[in-house]
Structure 1
Amino acid sequence: MRDESHGVHEAVAEAIDVGEQCGIHVQVAHLKLSGTGRWGEAEELLGQFTAARARGVDVHCDQYPYDWATNPLRFLLPVWLQEGGIDAMLERLADPQIRSRVRQKIAEVGFNNFGHIESWDDIRIANSPGAVRPGMTIAEIAAERDCDPLEAVFDIVVEDRGGTRILVRSMSEEDVRRIAAEPSMTVGSDGPCVAPYGVTSQGKPHPRLYGTFPRVLGRYARDEGLLTLEQAVAKMTGNAARALGMADRGLLREGQAADVVLFDAGTIRDEATFDEPHTYPAGVGTVIVNGEVVIHGGEHTGALPGRLLRRREGALG
């Protein structure tokens, strides 16, 4: 989607309009209101989808249950600065006048696609090919380097050629909870495959990679009552599979792929944190993927039966 901050309502309207005019399915991924200037507008945002469905538009959206987002550090900077690729961006950042221009723009409208952020402590390093340490905030890095925080951002982008990824607290928990409670919303982690061992265990990625589903089941459903356990399960299984056109997934019935999670509804909770993100959740005893047990007793068996899933033609509905 074009924008998740200043122009989020216009971006949603644009996506819906494309689907409506072309007669195609629209899936808005990780729906959010990013930046303090858009906080509190969840009801208005969700209303756009309700109105579209009332007109017959086939539109769905999903969410991860956190008020932090993740992106490359360079995505804090204006789009025009990044035009032409990494080398062109680095050449521009070598010019003090351009840095001053970027500084002024950020002061006016906030960060690209994140809007205004409350504090430099709300931007953390996830991983980096350079010298900055995962887990540090931009405020901490600036203090360590004895420089202005935005100057630290400029310098890190130059030093590692834009390769550093960050975590940004750009959303309000109230908006996240309201979106999570929406009946039509599905649940997705918006994350790649990772494990607490091997090459994918490096850095400090977003805890949503391990915590998304148990967080919805444990915190939002069981503890806070934003939705029922049955609703929560449906959002992350059958409803999600149906929205994405996965005809043989998402339901426990004959003929479906045997993807099964056995969890304790009374103890399931997310354990992954920003300091220790590679942590399995509590309360999950067994996981079966394509008929093979991959987690037993809370530990990985070593089996890797997962495979790429493709939408079946005509499966949407």
Structure 2
Amino acid sequence: MQFDTLIMGGTIYDGSGLEPYVADIGLRSGIIVDIGNLKYADATLKIDARDLAVSPGFINMLSHATRALLHDGLSEGNIHQGVTLEVIGEGVSMGPLNDQMAKEMTDEQTDIKFTINWRSLGEFLNRLQLKGISTNVASFVGATTVREYVLGQEDRKPDERELSMMRNLVSLAMSEGAVGISSALIYAPACFADTDELIALAEEAGKHGGIYASHLRSEGDQLLEGVRELIAICQKAKIPSEIYHLKAAGRRNWSKMDEAIAEIEKARSAGHRVSADMYLYTRAQTGLDAAMPTWVQEGGLPQWIKRLQEPQTRARVKQEMLSDAADWENGYMHAGPEGILLVGFKNDSLKPLIGKTLKQIADERGKDPADVAMDLVIEDGSRVETVYSWMSEENLVKQVKLPWMTFGSDGSSMSPSGEYLKSQTHPRAYGNFARLLEKYVRNEKVVTLPDAIRRLTALPAANLGLLFRGKIDQGYAADIAIFDPEKIREKATFENAHQLSEGMVHVLVNGVPVLQNGKHTGNKPGLVLRRRMSHRMIC
């Protein structure tokens, strides 16, 4: 029997969560065609997997690799952890775009530059496929993107005609291959959408078999209200729903995690398909926009910067940054200036500040940290990339134990070279999945390896509605990770994040090696995966 590739003697964790078994795997034309004792078979490529774990490739349920994929298509940081599918489009997607949105997206580019010569989500996905990518990619259509296309960055409800336009845009994006609709409700202008608007858009995605995923309206003081809103959208739109990076932000909110979990499990027990993903760190990465009230950001970045230079407005913003907020998620209060780390600037002259906390910079400048936060947005002409100390390790452990919890890095997928080194990043961009296998599986035994693999592979594939992905089984796409469970290791740190994880030996995407003996091959066999399509009809 002749195969393209023969994986020999590996310990197979097939994605089911059951105990592993030893067998050979034969691949042909990017598909798993045989599993068993294949020692007499021949193949163009033979991989010795003895003493190694063989599993389906991992699914990154929340990826911000879009710009990196446009830049070089390699997704090196994640491939070194076994990731074979990047799921992009959290709240904001690369289409639909109008000319103004394309201009703003171009103006806001930092170290990675690219030309925006598409307008629809489908055109973007086609461009990505033609450019070449090492991992597979799936995308949501962003509710924020749809809203901005019709309403700009205004804080108001759409009228009946405008809402109809928004629904039509969702329908178009779904027909172009989106896996669902997503929102990111702590940020402007996403936060200007009310629940009824989100239900209407989710209904449209549901007609096409999509799901609704959301960065909740609050992950802190109003976490429970945020969870209940998502469940209500799930129920009323009759659509499966996913909570992006479930967390309880701010020490005073850590105790709310138990009740949040209870709310989700109650909905699941009632038959509603509600799930969640998480990353494996107590620090989050976002921007200084999370430290300021949303009303000051209405109209977009230029208006935000302009308002911060008006003395009366600036005084009001500072007062709200230093106060408990009922109508916005006050990241400044949750972390404190000593817990806000600066990791990325657009302006090269400000890059020496990377790696310092907001408090350290304020001390150097002899100014109040809240004033310095506003100054930095003005000086950089950007939201400024920041890391916030928000979560508790105890809650992370509780979440990792949940059988319905999947995993997403909430980060990019970079290489430790070139343009990427101009800014720092969160270590999750290089280590989230290795951290799961090293810390929570091997060292602390919070979860077993078979169950961790299930929740990295088959479970997220099922949640996304992707066919023939996420399992080691005949007829499934040959997205495969081969690694040493005893050597898998996260190397990235907050002090030096640009370090590839170790222990992943081989990775195949659609049957083609993208990692061999721990080295990226440069191959780009990745495909754009579109909703409800099998591996035979993906493009």
User: How far, CA to CA, are the matches of 1:228 and 1:300 in structure 2?
Assistant: 28
SS at match of 1:250: coil
SS at match of 1:117: helix
The correspondence of residues 228-307 of structure 1 with structure 2, limited to 5 A, is: 228-307=448-527
The correspondence of residues 1-150 of structure 1 with structure 2, limited to 5 A, is: 1-109=216-324, 112=329, 114=331, 116-130=333-347, 131-132=350-351, 133-150=353-370
Which position in structure 1 is the counterpart of 2:107? none
User: How far, CA to CA, are the matches of 1:79 and 1:163 in structure 2?
Assistant: 13
* Greater fraction strand: 2
One-letter code aligned to 1:73: L
User: How far, CA to CA, are the matches of 1:312 and 1:165 in structure 2?
Assistant: 35
Q: Judge which range, 108-117 or 5-14, deviates more.
A: 108-117
Deviating beyond 4 angstroms after TM superposition, the runs of 4 or more aligned structure 1 residues are none
> What's the C-alpha RMSD, in Å, of the aligned pairs?
1.9
Deviations 1:222-242 (A, max 9, x none): 111111111111111111111
What TM-score do the two structures reach when normalised by structure 1? 0.93
Decide whether aligned partners of structure 1 residues 70 and 199 sit closer, same or farther in structure 2, where only a CA change above 3 A counts.
Answer: same
Deviations 1:286-313 (A, max 9, x none): 1111211112222211112223222217
User: How far, CA to CA, are the matches of 2:345 and 2:402 in structure 1?
Assistant: 36
Which position in structure 1 is the counterpart of 2:395? 175
SS at match of 1:271: coil
Decide whether aligned partners of structure 1 residues 30 and 261 sit closer, same or farther in structure 2, where only a CA change above 3 A counts.
Answer: same
User: How far, CA to CA, are the matches of 2:276 and 2:496 in structure 1?
Assistant: 29
| Equivalent pair of 2:221/2:329 in contact (CA under 8 Å) | no
| Equivalent pair of 2:345/2:382 in contact (CA under 8 Å) | no
Q: Judge which range, 233-242 or 99-108, deviates more.
A: 99-108
Gap regions ≥5 residues in structure 2: 1-215, 535-539
Which position in structure 2 is the counterpart of 1:214? 434
User: How far, CA to CA, are the matches of 1:300 and 1:109 in structure 2?
Assistant: 48
One-letter code aligned to 2:241: V
Q: Judge which range, 303-312 or 262-271, deviates more.
A: 303-312
Q: What's the offset of the Cα at 1:212?
A: 1.0
SS at match of 2:502: coil
One-letter code aligned to 2:306: E
Larger radius of gyration: 2
Deviations 1:266-285 (A, max 9, x none): 12121111122121112111
SS at match of 1:41: helix
Deviations 1:251-270 (A, max 9, x none): 01122111111111112121
Q: Judge which range, 130-139 or 279-288, deviates more.
A: 130-139
Q: What's the offset of the Cα at 1:84?
A: 1.6
Decide whether aligned partners of structure 1 residues 118 and 126 sit closer, same or farther in structure 2, where only a CA change above 3 A counts.
Answer: closer
Q: What's the offset of the Cα at 1:65?
A: 0.7
User: How far, CA to CA, are the matches of 1:263 and 1:275 in structure 2?
Assistant: 26
Q: What's the offset of the Cα at 1:118?
A: 4.5
Alignment size in residue pairs: 314
One-letter code aligned to 1:108: S
Q: What's the offset of the Cα at 1:243?
A: 1.0
SS at match of 2:255: coil
User: How far, CA to CA, are the matches of 2:418 and 2:528 in structure 1?
Assistant: 21
| Equivalent pair of 2:218/2:329 in contact (CA under 8 Å) | no
One-letter code aligned to 1:80: W
User: How far, CA to CA, are the matches of 1:277 and 1:271 in structure 2?
Assistant: 8
One-letter code aligned to 2:228: A
| Equivalent pair of 1:6/1:38 in contact (CA under 8 Å) | yes
User: How far, CA to CA, are the matches of 2:420 and 2:462 in structure 1?
Assistant: 30
| Equivalent pair of 1:37/1:116 in contact (CA under 8 Å) | no
Deviations 1:97-138 (A, max 9, x none): 322222222222268353633542321112111214322211
